[in-house]
Amino acid sequence: MKFDVSKLEWLRAPERYAVEDGRIEITTMPSTDLWQRTYYHFRNDNAPVLQMETEEKFFSFVVKTDFTGAHHRFDQCGIVMYLNSENWLKGSVEYENEEFQHLGSVVTNHGYSDWATTAISTQVKTMWYRFSRREDDYCIECSQDGEHFTQMRVSHMWEGGGRIRFGIYACSPENSSFTAVFTEMEVTECKWLAHDGQAPDEE
């Protein structure tokens, strides 16, 4: 499987975007987000998502994101696997204020989202992500140089065992807009290797 922009399909295309080989730009619209229920019961499911479809069980997808234009609380862009409104995951940097921003991930299973984050400097303006699949388990990693990746999240997707869709997204949950830039996109063999630690319990 290769990354091919001609195979990408929009879910809720934004008003302004540019898609070409090697570079994709998405200009966000205000009040767009992906979130379901948890904690404050708020729900929003209107962020633009650009994805390709596959049945491949083992692969990795890498992309570089440039969010230099992010300037308002929760402005974000990153990788996504959006199956439907109640089953999806994403990894991104979300702007918070002039002091820090959130590097994190959200996994939504059966209509409930979580949010795992760590604070990073607002001096960081680009981030690489690597999204890997091993059947119905998934790993999100990040990198500041595109070479050395650090694990952000390992998760199981209850509805993620068959045909899936994966790609990129950008949104501005509050009254904001910015242009996210995606480059260096590729699909490779699965870089998330089989576990070589403790053996599984015997049944």
Give the whole-angstrom CA distance, residue 62 versus residue 3. 10
- pLDDT-derived band of residue 195, with 50, 70 and 90 as boundaries? confident
Each residue of 106-151: pLDDT tens digit? Answer: 999 999 999 999 999 999 999 999 999 999 999 999 999 999 999 9
CATH of domain 5-188: 2.60.120.200
- pLDDT-derived band of residue 30, with 50, 70 and 90 as boundaries? very high
Q: Residue 107 CA to chain centroid, in angstroms?
A: 10
pLDDT the model gives residue 201:
64
Is the pLDDT reported for residue 41 higher than 90?
no
* Residues 6 or more apart whose Cβ sits within 8 Å of residue 198: none
Q: What is the mean pLDDT of residues 62-79?
A: 98
**Mean pLDDT of the chain, nearest integer:** 96
Of residues 40 and 17, more confidence is placed in 17
Q: What is the mean pLDDT of residues 18-25?
A: 97
- pLDDT-derived band of residue 199, with 50, 70 and 90 as boundaries? confident
Q: Nearest-5° angle of CA 102, CA 62, CA 78? A: 30
Is the pLDDT reported for residue 202 higher than 70?
no
Is the pLDDT reported for residue 40 higher than 90?
no
φ, ψ dihedrals at 145, nearest 5°: -125, -5
Each residue of 149-172: pLDDT tens digit? Answer: 999 999 999 999 999 999 999 999
pTM of the model: 0.95
Of residues 41 and 70, more confidence is placed in 70
Amino acid identity of residue 23, one-letter, is: R
Is the pLDDT reported for residue 203 higher than 60?
no
Return the HEC string of the chain.
CCCCHHHCEEECCCCEEEEECCEEEEECCECCCEEECCCCCCEEECCCEEEEEECCCEEEEEEEEECCCCCCCCCEEEEEEEEECCEEEEEEEEECCCCCEEEEEEEEECCEECCEEEEECCCCCEEEEEEEEECCEEEEEEECCCCCCEEEEEEECCCCCCCEEEEEEEEECCCCCCEEEEEEEEEECCCCCCCCCCCCCCC
pLDDT the model gives residue 82:
98
